[in-house]
């Protein structure tokens, strides 16, 4: 009797596992299809006139490309796109320049202190950005006042945004890269040491090429994160000529409530999201591979 029950149980477990797997995969595919449908819907609305958006919710009857020109010029998204590109590029370069040697040092050269320091970096990921808004504003005001009165005589708030982007992105970047460096084989490092290479030369000529996948992953993730960031830029950039894409789009939405230029608004959304979609399509596989290797250790 007990053997029969065990046999029935052994048959039920695989069926239940297949059912759970089917539900999870089905839910994920539904979520993907929903997001793809939203992107397609936004694009179709971006090439319609405001009247067609409400009168013709389906495929566009005509392609009204002037919405993109309106979004780039009237709303200031063109200048904002340039500001965003420069801020993101400088921030990511600084993040990687600081994170790579720090992560390698913690993974290979940190000794007994590596564990607590890595934990300290990881704890930085648990602080939500909303909890830091008041300290960010106060630190930014003090930094700007110091730079204006004692150093340069003038200060660009975009530099402050870059500094905060670097600080806020370091914990996650170092955490992932530490795991990635730990996943790499140590034999080549030992061979380089036997050949008389210093730790810095080993890091530069041996480990960085091996960590190319992890570096690509963190560059892409940081670009995606900073390109879509709004709170810090909204708090620290008062000048409209210096605003980033997301802040410019938010201001465009506020103005659109009086002009009803829905087509231009949807075109602005396409301008903001399209570069990141293309970037992820190009390097998506490397990002997934790098995240799997880095978080697996």
Q: Is 0.85 topped by the overall pTM? A: no
| Residue boundaries of the structural domains of the chain | 2-46, 67-295
Q: What average pLDDT score do residues 58-75 get?
A: 80
DSSP the chain: -HHHHHHHHHHHHHHHHHHHHHHHHHHHHHHHHHHHHHHHHHHHHHTS-HHHHHH--SS-SS--THHHHHHHHTS-HHHHHHHHHHHHHHHHHHHHHHHHHHHHIIIII-GGGHHHHHHHHHHGGGS-GGGGHHHHHHHHHHHHHHIIIIISS---HHHHHHHHHHHHHHHHHHHHHHHHHHHS-SHHHHHHHHTT--HHHHIIIIIHHHTHHHHHHHHHHHHHHHHT--HHHHHH---GGG--HHHHHHHHHHHHHHH--HHHHHHHHHHHHHHHHHHHHHHHHHHHHHHHHHHT-
Residue 77 pLDDT > 90: no
- CATH class for the domain made up of 67-295: mainly alpha
Question: What does the pLDDT look like over 147-184, one tens digit per residue?
Answer: 776 777 778 888 999 999 999 999 889 888 888 888 88
pLDDT value at residue 52? 82
Question: What does the pLDDT look like over 93-149, one tens digit per residue?
Answer: 999 999 999 888 888 776 666 667 777 777 777 788 888 888 888 888 888 887 776
* Average pLDDT along the chain: 81
Question: What does the pLDDT look like over 244-296, one tens digit per residue?
Answer: 988 888 888 887 777 777 888 888 889 888 888 888 888 777 666 666 655 54
Residue 46 pLDDT > 70: yes
pLDDT value at residue 33? 92
pLDDT value at residue 112? 62
pLDDT value at residue 266? 87
Q: What percent of the chain has pLDDT over 90?
A: 14
């Amino acid at each position: 009797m007990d053997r029969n029950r065990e046999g029935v149980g052994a048959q039920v477990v695989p069926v239940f596992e297949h059912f759970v797997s089917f539900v999870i995969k089905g839910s994920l595919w539904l979520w993907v299809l929903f997001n793809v449908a939203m992107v397609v819907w936004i694009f179709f609305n971006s090439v319609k006139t405001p009247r067609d958006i409400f009168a013709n919710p389906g495929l566009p009857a005509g392609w009204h490309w002037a919405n993109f020109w309106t979004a780039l010029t009237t709303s200031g998204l063109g200048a904002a796109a340039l500001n965003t590109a420069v801020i993101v590029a400088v921030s990511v370069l600084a993040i990687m320049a600081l994170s790579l040697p720090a992560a390698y040092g913690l993974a290979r050269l940190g000794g007994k202190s590596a564990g607590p320091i890595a934990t300290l970096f990881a704890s930085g990921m648990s602080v939500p950005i909303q909890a830091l808004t008041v300290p960010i504003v106060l630190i930014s005001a003090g930094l700007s006042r110091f730079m204006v009165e004692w150093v340069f005589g003038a200060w660009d708030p975009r530099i402050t945004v870059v500094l905060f982007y670097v600080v806020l992105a370091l914990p996650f970047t170092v955490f992932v890269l530490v795991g990635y460096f730990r996943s790499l084989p140590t034999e080549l490092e030992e061979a380089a040491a036997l050949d008389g290479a210093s730790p810095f030369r080993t890091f530069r000529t041996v480990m960085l090429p091996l960590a190319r996948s992890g570096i690509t992953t963190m560059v892409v993730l940081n670009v995606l994160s900073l390109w879509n960031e709004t709170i810090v830029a909204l708090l620290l950039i008062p000048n409209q000529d210096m605003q980033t894409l997301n802040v410019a789009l938010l201001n465009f939405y506020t103005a659109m409530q009086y002009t009803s230029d829905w087509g231009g608004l949807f075109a602005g959304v396409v301008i903001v999201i399209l570069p990141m979609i293309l970037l992820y399509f190009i390097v998506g596989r490397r990002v997934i591979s790098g995240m799997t290797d880095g978080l697996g250790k």
